[in-house]
Amino acid sequence: MTEPFAEHKWRHRLLLVFAPDEADANLAEQKKLLEEGEAGFEERDLLPLFLLEDEEARDGFDVAERSFAAVLIGKDGTEKARFERPAESDELFRRIDGMPMRRRKMGM
């Protein structure tokens, strides 16, 4: 996990959303999809972060300049999934619910 996000390690799962600018259609769609699934964020400790002009984060997560990407980071600070299109909340939740820490929390 790059330094700016180290404070979240073991506390939150992060969805880092990279977009070229506020007018990006994928960014608007991602925000809409996340609003629709917001109810499941707290129980999964999921925190979305929107990174439009963060070159350090783009470099750290190998996201091309002027492109859209959504990167799911686990509580351990490692990348769990990468999407080049807006990610549906259900898809994010399925991936998170399959993670070992989440499965233990759910008693599975």
pLDDT digits (tens, 9 = 90+) for 86-96: 999 999 999 99
Return the domain boundaries, the chain.
Answer: 3-105
Q: Are 2 and 68 in contact, with CB atoms under 8 Å apart?
A: no
The pTM of this model reads 0.89
Round to whole Å and give the CA distance between 90 and 107. Answer: 20
Q: Are 79 and 98 in contact, with CB atoms under 8 Å apart?
A: no
- Residue 99 is predicted with a pLDDT of 80
How confident is the model over 27-86, as pLDDT tens digits?
Answer: 999 999 999 999 999 999 999 999 998 899 999 999 999 999 999 999 999 999 999 999
- Residue 23 is predicted with a pLDDT of 96
Say yes or no: domain 3-105 is CATH 1.10.3720.10. Answer: no
